[in-house]
Amino acid sequence: MADALLQARDLTVRFGGLTAVDAVNASLRPGELVGIIGPNGAGKTTFFNAISGVIAPTSGALLVDGQDLAGQGPHRYAAHGIARTFQTPRVFADMTAAANIDFGLQFAGRLRPAPALLPDADAILALIGLSRQALYPAAAITPSQQRLLEIGMALATRPRILLLDEVAAGLTEAEVEAMARLIRRLRDEMGLAVVWIEHAVTTLLRHVERVIVLHQGRKIADGTPAEVVRNAEVVEAYLGDEMNEETA
């Protein structure tokens, strides 16, 4: 796909005899909002780790701007505009919220041009709704605010691609909807390409434009939310039980 920002080609990750990601092909275009769903153990986070440089794939290619970054360190991915969050927020607990954002700006943000919407740490804190917490140590803010702060740190690296790993986990229903609106705003106003893993399937399907479904490390579907919920293999592997659980 010529206009893809990121392309995974036959991306495979093995841990000993376990194949966690099995020859997955996927692409991401500029400005896309894509969700990744699948049962526990489907390989979602391992796939994220491989496309953000946290782990090296066993085989396959990961093309960013036509360059194969497979096996290179996270700093190389950051330099190409890829930022991510983690299931458990990784923030500097003893540093203030503002200092956490400044770290992101110094780490990789200085290497990339600042978008007009987010020229500095104050603007990033305002966007994520943490201006009042700017001088609080990260350890003193709530877990949901720590999730927002980690997104702010990712934004500080001036990314083109934002990878979000279960940012709605543990949030209230109102907080989940607020998070979804923030994610849409980042895509709409900053033009970011966003890939969002989420266990809250109904929330994800309401807000993304394309869904990739992983099952036992394989990609079993890639399409619009409407197409995916009608896919018999997806319903059998995952959505039937998941939708019933969420409805209950």
Closest CA relative to residue 198, chosen from 161, 143, 238? 238
Closest CA relative to residue 213, chosen from 75, 68, 19, 34? 34
Q: What is the pLDDT of residue 79?
A: 86
Beta bridge pairs of residue 26: 8
Across 51-60, 155-164, 194-203, 238-247, least confident range: 238-247
Q: Same domain for 197 and 141?
A: no
Q: What is the pLDDT of residue 93?
A: 95
- 68 and 146 Cβ atoms separated by less than 8 Å: no
Residue found under tokens 């990750």: 13
Q: Same domain for 146 and 169?
A: no
DSSP per-residue letters across 44-104 = HHHHHHHHTTSS--SEEEEEETTEE-TT--HHHHHHTTEEE--SS----TTSBHHHHHHHH
Across 105-114, 201-210, 216-225, least confident range: 105-114
Q: Would you say residue 243 has pLDDT above 80?
A: no
The helix-helix angle for 97-107 and 143-156 (nearest 10°) equals 30
What are 3-40's pLDDT values in tens digits?
889 999 999 999 999 999 999 999 999 999 999 999 88
Q: What is the pLDDT of residue 248?
A: 40
Q: Same domain for 111 and 200?
A: no
Give the residue from 158, 173, 208 where a domain finishes: 158
Across 64-68, 104-108, 127-131, least confident range: 104-108
Average pLDDT in the chain: 88
- 38 and 201 Cβ atoms separated by less than 8 Å: no
Q: Between 202 and 51, whose confidence is greater?
A: 51
Whole-prediction pTM value?
0.90
- Domain assignment of residue 246, given as a range: 1-81+160-248
Q: How many domains does the chain have?
A: 2
